[in-house]
Structure 1
Amino acid sequence: MLKKVDNKWQFASENNLEDFVWSRLNSLLGLSGLKRQYRVYGDTCDILALDENSRLVILELKNVEDRYIVQQLTRYYHSLLDEKPFQQQVNYELPIRLIAVAPSFHYHNWIDKKYHQLSFEFMTFTLSQQQNEVYLQLQNLDTKENIQTTVLNGSLIQKTKVSQPQTLVITESSGTATYTRAIDNILSYYVLVKNAHKLGIPELEPSEIERLNNLGFPNKVSKLFKIRVKETRTKSGYRDISIRVPSSIGVWDFHWWVKAHVPTAIETITPSGRRHSLYRYSRG
């Protein structure tokens, strides 16, 4: 999900940026998601969402500066206004909001915005590291409002004694999972070594099980998550598997790791009972 270039953090791809924004759509922008990668008249909109007034919001995300982002949003606006999807949720009597998110904007973008008949919201994002955490800061360039949220929480590095180096693990298969080597070891032990058979997935190789056992993780841990898996033999169509992990494991650490490693899982359930869907999709 993240990479470090010249000592600066970046999203590894635009897809990773989209994954992150979609997962924090409400906390970052106060929006409710409608659809990702929505295809309309040959174009593909990154994210369609609703604001608190049921206005349609079109978000276009760029991982690098792009001088044609205004033209792109203009085409989406025209096509969506013509098609009017999600009519039960969207109030089309209100203007459609057009939001562009990028690390920076070309001066051509500002010229296009200034003389355009439509209204555009420009937002920049930056990634910065403070001690063991990487933050994303989002700024609305019109209102100057700033929002900051954690992208990568590395507090577990200091709390866990693991002999292996705490390098980043990036799981390309899911495109969303970013965590430390320490977290990968811990969850491999408590989820896969102890519960693979319950989750309906193959057990690890004996040598890997031995390696994880030798790391000396405690048997008694306090934080209780659940993984909901498909189960055709039950009336509900699923069953919940209880997984206990160390208290230092965060909700999103657990969620993204399960998404990458447990293909039978359909939801994760937090200790407070909140359910998070393991949404999987492929870009068209």
Structure 2
Amino acid sequence: MLSSAALRKTGPGWEFANEEALEDFVEVHLQSLLGLTVIKRQFTVNEQRCDIIAVDENKRLVVLELKNGEDRYVVQQLTRYYDALLEHKPFADRVDYDRPVRLIAITPKFHRDNFTDRKYHQLLFKFFQLAVIQNQEKFYLHLKDIDTQETAQIDIPYREIDYRRTDESIPPPPRLILDWLGSWTAEDEDNFLKIREQILSFDNRMQEIIEPKSIKYGIPKTKPCAELYFQRKSKKNILFLWLPIPNRTKQAIARMQVHTNWDVYWQFSHVPEGLYKETKHKSYFKLREYEYKKGRSVRIITAEDFVAQNLDGLVDQALNTWREKL
């Protein structure tokens, strides 16, 4: 379950990095915030996709629409979800459809049209205003019921990143990276930034290329060296390196997904595109995490031609391979 979240700074304040990050966090903490139990996230019925379907303690259906910014059509959206759900009545074993449905909108700011639409509507709508609050080094998600002024608040495990370059020739990380780093531990953050600096300082031809779902390193379109992919489902940052495929008579360079904690790695897998699947992709250089010997836990290499236990050694191999191919 996700306990942390990606945030971004907006002038004097903070907000969730995107709507998906907001939904992820609220889904996990909905019971603490509003006393509701989640049934399904991003549920589609009658071609309508509901952000969150939940129930209260009385098995009343609750439909939530979340926005990371102002939206004037939230009442219309919730109305369409209501109609589709009442027509098909999904989750009948968990929902009492004889009780009135609760429709909840959560957003940082409500457009005035939302209040007009609600004023002349027959259905029951609740509006909650959200805010991300920073108090010294701590962050909180704050919800306020627009009608009753009642509030709920929960901690967001996040740190404001104070990025200081050890190498002034290296540009600061792009916003896409900084948004997620604050939800990492300080140790993981440091390990990751060292790897990034290792890549960017290797050769003045190395570029950092921002794409919709990833950041690539190398020469655009022709000579990739590494890729940082943001896996939305698990909220993990995944590293790919272009490495020689082991045990080939003729050298072939391929995209390898590295299984790592940003300090050491235990295997890498040949993944030409997308993400690793155990049943589909071949892995190399497996490393057992723990072996108890002489009173202490040690790491044991289980492949004869294992290249490097520390991640920076594997990155070095990818960098040298990249430069040889230029």
The TM-score with structure 1 as length reference comes to 0.61
Map of 1:139 onto structure 2 = 144
Q: What SS does the corresponding residue of 2:87 show, helix, strand or coil?
A: helix
CA-to-partner distance for each residue in 1:19-74, whole Å, 9 max, x for gaps? Answer: 11011111111111111110111110000011111111100001111111001100
Map of 2:34 onto structure 1 = 29
Asked whether the equivalents of residues 43 and 76 of structure 1 are also in contact (C-alpha less than 8 Å), the reply is yes
Does 1:205 find its partner at 2:205? no
Asked whether the equivalents of residues 31 and 52 of structure 1 are also in contact (C-alpha less than 8 Å), the reply is yes
Quote how far apart the aligned CAs of 1:207 are. Answer: 3.9
Does 1:125 find its partner at 2:125? no
Map of 1:40 onto structure 2 = 45
- Cα separation, 2, equivalents of 1:116 and 1:51: 22
Does 1:151 find its partner at 2:141? no
Q: What SS does the corresponding residue of 1:72 show, helix, strand or coil?
A: helix
* Consecutive aligned runs of 4 or more in structure 1 exceeding 6 Å deviation: 162-165, 167-172
Change (3 A) 1:177 1:205: closer
RMSD between aligned residues: 3.5
Asked whether the equivalents of residues 64 and 103 of structure 1 are also in contact (C-alpha less than 8 Å), the reply is yes
Asked whether the equivalents of residues 40 and 80 of structure 1 are also in contact (C-alpha less than 8 Å), the reply is yes
Quote how far apart the aligned CAs of 1:187 are. Answer: 8.4
Map of 1:6 onto structure 2 = 11
Map of 1:114 onto structure 2 = 119
Within-5 A mapping of 1:1-284: 1-154=6-159, 178-180=182-184, 182-185=186-189, 193=263, 196=266, 197-198=287-288, 204-207=310-313
Q: How many residues align?
A: 202
Change (3 A) 1:170 1:29: farther
Asked whether the equivalents of residues 141 and 154 of structure 2 are also in contact (C-alpha less than 8 Å), the reply is yes
Q: Which of structures 1 and 2 has the larger relative contact order (alpha carbons within 8 angstroms, sep 6+)?
A: 1
Asked whether the equivalents of residues 69 and 108 of structure 2 are also in contact (C-alpha less than 8 Å), the reply is yes
Task: State the AA in 2 paired with 1:150.
Answer: D
- Cα separation, 1, equivalents of 2:60 and 2:173: 39
Task: State the AA in 1 paired with 2:72.
Answer: R
Change (3 A) 1:103 1:93: same
Asked whether the equivalents of residues 20 and 176 of structure 1 are also in contact (C-alpha less than 8 Å), the reply is no
Change (3 A) 1:127 1:208: farther
Q: What SS does the corresponding residue of 1:24 show, helix, strand or coil?
A: helix
Task: State the AA in 1 paired with 2:86.
Answer: L
Change (3 A) 1:102 1:67: same
| Structure with the higher helix share, 1 or 2 | 1
Change (3 A) 1:147 1:208: farther
Instruction: Point out the structure with max Rg over C-alpha.
Output: 2
Change (3 A) 1:149 1:209: farther
**5+ unaligned residues in a row in structure 2: which ranges?**
1-5, 193-259, 267-286, 291-307, 317-326
Change (3 A) 1:203 1:38: farther
Quote how far apart the aligned CAs of 1:121 are. Answer: 0.4
The TM-score with structure 2 as length reference comes to 0.54
Quote how far apart the aligned CAs of 1:180 are. Answer: 4.9
Change (3 A) 1:149 1:198: farther
Asked whether the equivalents of residues 169 and 180 of structure 1 are also in contact (C-alpha less than 8 Å), the reply is no
CA-to-partner distance for each residue in 1:114-167, whole Å, 9 max, x for gaps? Answer: 110001000000112111111111011122111111113449x99xxx9979x9
Quote how far apart the aligned CAs of 1:205 are. Answer: 2.5
Task: State the AA in 1 paired with 2:183.
Answer: Y
Task: State the AA in 1 paired with 2:311.
Answer: E
Change (3 A) 1:107 1:163: closer
Asked whether the equivalents of residues 169 and 181 of structure 1 are also in contact (C-alpha less than 8 Å), the reply is no
Task: State the AA in 2 paired with 1:51.
Answer: D
Change (3 A) 1:14 1:187: same
Change (3 A) 1:163 1:5: closer
